[in-house]
Structure 1
């Protein structure tokens, strides 16, 4: 039953052209949706990379500040007297 219906549709040249163009349109639509989705994914990854870089920069600055801190009270007093703080 279905085979005869599809056979009748495929016999007409106009219907074959319509089916061909319809299939092309569906393929292009699916391609564009896939492209949009991959673009969104790339945007999220770029945002995550930027956030990670900012966090790493903050950690690096904290470690640099900790490395330059006075070792004890006398070192702190010396720095305050010299005006290096």
Structure 2
């Protein structure tokens, strides 16, 4: 057993095994960070849509008639 671990081909196999494991772990981490970036991008897009809708609702609320008299004036003038 001691001669097997000390042989040149065993050390070489161990070296290649560790290298392959490191590459595999790197690729898995890269995939995970890509998925996270995709989720964050989707979240940002949804927030932008929600903010745009809220802004449009606030602008519409700012243009609304303040009382019944103003509403009647708009209806008579064809402002709607």
**TM-score exceeds 0.5:** yes
Pairs aligned (count): 80
Counterpart of 2:78 (choices 67, 79, 83) is 83
Structure 1 vs Structure 2 CA RMSD: 1.1
2:3 & 2:27 partners in 1: Cα distance?
Answer: 32
| TM-score, normalised relative to structure 2 | 0.92
Consecutive unaligned residues of structure 2, counting only runs of 5 or more, are none
Counterpart of 1:18 (choices 13, 19, 24) is 13
Please state if 1:69 is matched with 2:72.
no
| TM-score, normalised relative to structure 1 | 0.87
Residue pair 1:9, 1:16 contacting (<8 A) in 2 also: no
Which digits, 9 at most, give the CA deviation of each residue in 1:2-44, with x for residues without a partner? xxx4x43332111111100000000000000000001111111
Match of residue 34 from structure 1: 29
